[in-house]
Copies of this chain bind each other. A is one copy, B any other.
Amino acid sequence: MKKIINDPATVVADSLRGLELAHADLVTVVPDPAVVVRADAPVQGKVAVISGGGSGHEPMHGGLVGPGMLDAACPGPVFTSPTPDQVQAAIERTNGGAGALLIVKNYTGDVLNFETAAELAQAEDVEVATVVIDDDVAVQDSLYTAGRRGVGGTVLLEKIVGAAAERGDDLAACLALAQRVVANVRSMGMALAAPTVPHVGEPSFDLDADEMEVGIGIHGEPGRARLPAENADGIVARLLEPVLADLPFREGDRVLLFTNSMGATPLLELYLAHGIAERMLADRGIVVERRLVGPYVTSLEMQGMSLTVLKLDDELTGLWDAPVRTAALRWGS
């Protein structure tokens, strides 16, 4: 296993120490139970926006904690959802009296653990609302699955809701906005090579030199289909078409296009793919009004990419543009 680590058992805790040292102006790390908290938390009168999930998707979520985005992130072990006591601790540390919005990616483990924490917090009279994001069109949302997974759209959701909380929206408004984002965002991803989880020690799946896995998740789950590897045009079309067909996105729609690296795909390739996606959208008369390109929702050293499209309106665009100051996303004053 090729890793820069000391011990698979302590990899998340060890990494959090480095995160805190690197960004002491932005975050405080509570070691046990592990929580990454905004340095100036709690912000009085502000809805606390909290997320979390398994580690290995960095910069999501710890790198997205800071003014204009998350108040806290709960990092589980690699690819394993956090536990309720982490979420409880996050709520306690960030509750400024206006309640907490939990942003949960739709995985059985994440949903169950956050649900337990929400019940416990409500029992202590803290107002808690939960939004579950499930933007991955690779999964059939039906009686026969656990429902769609939360993937790339999560970062856009966290940015937009974070901005709303920062400007003073109350919990109900934040929740309604979050649900609007979830309703308008769709994603799909693919892999050329699998990640290796430290405590497993071998790649999560095996792909031949001429194969790709389409419709993968972000935890090294195999995808829905293994196909012969294609060129960039083919890959982008294979991701973008189901995304656009699903909502559906229509001619004249204004969108945010998020071209995400799963970890090991170089920026050289990512920008190349982004350019292709922009042209495909332009060909359909869909207006790319904002974009995000980079490794934001990763899966350790998985090689591959995902595309996320969010339908914008003036309010969403304004909230996207609002100032943000986190380790990974930073703009405005």
B-binding residues in A (CB < 8 A): 1-7, 11-12, 14-22, 55-56, 58-59, 63, 78, 192-193, 209, 229, 231-233, 235, 259, 263-276, 278, 288, 291, 293, 295, 298, 300-301, 303-305, 330-331, 333
Contacts and interface: CB of A to CB of B under 8 A. Distances in A.
B209 A264 contact: no
A100 to B, nearest CB: 26
Nearest to A274: B18
A293 B330 contact: no
Q: Which of A5, A193, A274, A278 has the most CB of B within 10 A?
A: A5
Given A58-B266, A268-B56, A293 B18 contact: yes
Main secondary structure of the interface of A (DSSP, over half): mixed
B232 A4 contact: yes
Q: Which of A3, A263, A268, A291 has the most CB of B within 10 A?
A: A268
Identify the interface centre among A14, A267, A304: most chain B CB within 10 Å of its CB. Answer: A267
B11 A272 contact: yes
Counting from the closest, the 5 A-B pairs by CB-CB distance are A18-B275, A18-B271, A58-B267, A264-B264, A2-B192
Contacts of A276: 18
Contact of A293 (B22, B232, B273): B22
Contacts of A63: 267
